[in-house]
């Protein structure tokens, strides 16, 4: 019989709806039940495409004896970290403080007052490599609860007090200057892997936010070293197994330093961020590789993640059926030489093996290889390779596909909107811009209420129950601002303003300018989460700083500009020390130091050839964080267009900083030069 999770909308929670464990969703009722029964709470946090979450579920939560013990001695609460990032952040902070590491599945034992007292991540069904079994942990915690209750509650109280006493070093209330950004670049250089690209060792994650900083720093200063790190890292990732060489799109991370073997799950946020990075790399260098990867990644998102309602699904699983009924990581993506021969024949299979690095020994497990591009493309016939790729992709489509997490997360859709809008505009792909508009329409229609408050998720056209957090407001505003610049439709600027007003009022400390991940009127947890560092995606803090800065450039709003600069104070403190973990903040700081520039394009109509040429040139400008407004003279949709007439009856471009403008130009080449200066 299904448990309480059967009534939820989260795909992750629904995966556990048929467990024999008597799961509760996160709710006041669950903790009231624990108080009534005088038992501790088992909090289990994960997400639908998490490989080890599936493993622990199969080993323990689907086991009848384990479930019976849990049901008798605990109230078990299951949380989707993607629906409730606030709950995840609070308890992850406690896990990391207690154990020095964290991850998912996260396993936390709580008092009925939601205070944590024992922590872990994955626990095996039997003792293994120094780890106790899950059943041993359950029995040990229960014994401590029954026999040493005072000690348990004392530990829980101390943990909560320690968390409450933690303070973030905000720096001051000003954005980083030349010195701090140069120090951040130097610190990144020290961590750079010159042989393989990227930063640090294995596992290696795509450093999308740091790459954005490097591209902006090069654009502002001309520093060739910054561009070289970005270009080489992007090439190594694009030629590695972390990139899907047949279908486009990036896996979550590489388990090795060489980008060869990925953890195969594909996340919307990774692909949105990397699509934008590669589009910006092309904009800076004209790289054909960057162009191809940007477009293939955009097409992957539209083809495989777009939902019926027009939004974008969260993720594709790492695991899929290997053809025998067994779910295996990477089964959808890997190949053997024999499989190549079956599809391509002997001669073309040999060509494909050379081109994609498929060997008899394999680069993955059981003699299977992850496709990569170990050799230069110029060594192969482009037409033959295109035919090989097409046939392999068609054959792969016959394999059982990885599962898809269909929930629409507001923040990640905001990132996708920005990426698709810009990529579509750069490469004359109106279909991609249309996909961005459709996703934005869905967010407005389904995720925004009458007061412009955001709902975090939706699924199958139904809004979820959880309130948006700071990253939702900031990333959706970022997407809307990009859409406004690309389409010339001022309504997106207006919607961005509504969201950012909430950031100012409900997420910002009035005195310090510090930002919180949850709104002042959100559900109270044991600690109000607050983290300025970037992780897999921009933190809400740094994303808000960037969006506030762009909105201020569009409108001249001093409150938004002041809030952005105060928020960037933490980047001034952390950027020189941990640049890899605050890359989006450093990118926003580059924009602040450059102005950012405000570009107003006026023409007799948006369809006028001269207007379109100037608009396209403005969008391709590399000035960090530049905002673009396009419309007819006197248009009230964009404040930047106020009092901007045509010049000699011709379309004109005005390039400004702080609403102070250079002499307008009607020439594309002149505009290009100004925006690259």
Taking alpha carbons only, the member of 85, 53, 506 closest to residue 269 is: 85
What is the per-residue pLDDT across 283-328, written as a single tens digit (0 to 9) for each? 999 999 999 999 999 999 999 999 999 999 999 999 898 888 888 9
Residue 481 has pLDDT above 70, yes or no: yes
pLDDT (0 to 100) of residue 170? 64
Q: Which residues make Cβ contacts (< 8 Å) with residue 130, sequence separation at least 6? A: none
Report which of residues 513 and 241 the model is more confident about.
Answer: 241
Contact predicate 571/594, CB 8 Å = no
Taking residues 423-449, report their average pLDDT. 98
Directed axis angle between helix 288-300 and helix 224-239, to 10°? Answer: 50
Residue 265 has pLDDT above 90, yes or no: yes
Assign 211 to helix, strand or coil. helix
CATH class of the domain at 4-164: alpha beta
Output the average pLDDT for the chain: 94
- Rounded Cα distance, 386 and 509, in Å: 55
**Structural domain spans, the chain:** 4-164, 178-317+405-594, 333-398, 598-675
pLDDT (0 to 100) of residue 169? 58
Give domain 178-317+405-594's CATH number out of 1.50.10.10, 2.60.120.10, 2.60.40.150, 3.20.20.70: 1.50.10.10
DSSP for 66-100, written as a single string = HHHHHHHH-EEEEEETTT-HHHHHHHHHHHHHHHS
What is the per-residue pLDDT across 564-602, written as a single tens digit (0 to 9) for each? 999 999 999 999 999 999 999 999 999 999 999 999 999
- Neighbouring C-beta atoms of residue 52, cutoff 10 Å: 13
pLDDT (0 to 100) of residue 167? 63
Residue 512 has pLDDT above 90, yes or no: no
Residue 168 has pLDDT above 70, yes or no: no
| Nearest-5° Cα angle at 272, 457 to 328 | 80
Contact predicate 64/132, CB 8 Å = no
- Rounded Cα distance, 663 and 540, in Å: 37
pLDDT (0 to 100) of residue 195? 95
Taking residues 332-353, report their average pLDDT. 96
Assign 601 to helix, strand or coil. strand
Residue 201 CA from chain centroid, whole number: 21
């Amino acid at each position: 019989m299904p448990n309480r999770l059967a009534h939820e909308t989260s795909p992750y929670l629904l995966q556990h709806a048929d467990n024999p464990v008597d799961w509760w969703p996160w709710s006041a009722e669950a903790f009231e039940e624990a108080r009534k029964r005088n038992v501790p709470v088992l909090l289990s946090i994960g997400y639908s495409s998490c490989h080890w979450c599936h493993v622990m579920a199969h080993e323990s939560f689907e086991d009848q004896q384990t479930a019976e013990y849990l049901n008798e001695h605990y109230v078990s609460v299951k949380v989707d970290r993607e629906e409730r990032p606030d709950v995840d952040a609070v308890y992850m902070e406690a896990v990391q403080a207690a154990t020095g590491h964290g991850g998912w599945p996260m396993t936390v034992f709580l008092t009925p007052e939601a205070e944590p007292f024992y922590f872990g991540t994955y626990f095996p069904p039997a003792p293994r490599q120094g780890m106790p079994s899950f059943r041993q942990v359950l029995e040990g915690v229960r014994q401590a609860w029954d026999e040493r209750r005072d000690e348990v509650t004392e530990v829980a109280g101390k943990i909560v007090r320690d968390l409450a006493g933690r303070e973030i070093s905000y720096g001051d209330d000003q954005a980083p200057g030349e010195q701090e950004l140069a120090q951040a670049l130097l610190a990144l250089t020290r961590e750079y892997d010159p042989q393989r690209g990227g930063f640090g060792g294995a596992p290696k994650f795509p450093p999308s936010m740091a790459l954005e900083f490097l591209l902006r720093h090069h654009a502002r200063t001309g520093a060739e070293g910054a561009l070289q790190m970005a270009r080489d890292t992007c090439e190594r990732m694009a030629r590695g197994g972390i990139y899907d060489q047949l279908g486009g799109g990036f896996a979550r991370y590489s388990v090795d330093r060489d980008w060869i073997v990925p953890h195969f799950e594909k996340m919307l946020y990774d692909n949105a961020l990397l699509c934008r990075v590669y589009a910006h790399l092309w904009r800076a260098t004209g790289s054909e590789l960057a162009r191809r990867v940007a477009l293939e990644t955009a097409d992957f998102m539209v083809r495989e993640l777009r939902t019926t309602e027009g939004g974008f699904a969260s993720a594709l699983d790492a695991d899929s059926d290997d053809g025998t009924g067994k779910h295996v990581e990477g089964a959808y993506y890997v190949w053997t030489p024999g499989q190549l021969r079956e599809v391509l024949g002997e001669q073309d299979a040999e060509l494909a093996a050379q081109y994609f690095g498929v060997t008899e020994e394999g680069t993955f497990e059981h003699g299977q290889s992850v496709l990569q591009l170990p050799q230069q493309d110029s060594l192969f016939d482009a037409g033959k390779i295109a035919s090989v790729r097409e046939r392999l992709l068609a054959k792969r489509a016959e394999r059982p596909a990885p599962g898809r997490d269909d929930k629409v997360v507001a923040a990640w859709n905001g990132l996708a909107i920005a990426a698709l809008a810009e990529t579509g505009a750069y490469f004359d792909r109106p279909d991609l811009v249309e996909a961005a508009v459709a996703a934005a329409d869905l967010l407005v229609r389904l995720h925004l209420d009458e007061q412009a408050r955001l709902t975090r998720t939706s699924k199958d056209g139904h809004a979820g129950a959880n309130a948006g957090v700071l990253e939702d407001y900031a990333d959706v505003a970022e997407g809307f601002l990009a859409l406004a610049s690309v389409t010339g439709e001022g309504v997106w600027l207006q919607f961005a303003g509504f969201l950012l007003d909430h950031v100012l009022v409900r997420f910002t400390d009035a005195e310090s300018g510090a930002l919180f991940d949850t709104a002042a009127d959100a559900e109270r947890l044991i600690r109000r989460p607050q983290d300025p560092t970037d992780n897999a995606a921009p933190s809400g803090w740094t994303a808000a700083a960037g969006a506030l800065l762009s909105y201020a450039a569009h409108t001249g709003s001093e409150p938004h500009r002041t809030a952005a600069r105060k928020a960037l104070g933490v980047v001034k403190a952390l950027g020189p020390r941990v640049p890899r973990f605050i890359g989006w903040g450093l990118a926003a700081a580059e924009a602040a130091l450059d102005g950012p520039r405000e570009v107003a394009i006026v023409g007799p109509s948006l369809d006028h050839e001269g207007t379109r040429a100037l608009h396209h040139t403005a969008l391709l400008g590399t000035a960090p964080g530049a905002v673009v407004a396009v419309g007819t003279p006197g248009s009230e949709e964009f404040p930047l267009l106020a009092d901007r007439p045509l010049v000699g009856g011709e379309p004109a471009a005005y390039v400004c900083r702080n609403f102070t403008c250079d002499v307008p130009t009607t020439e594309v080449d002149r505009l290009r030069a100004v925006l690259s200066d």
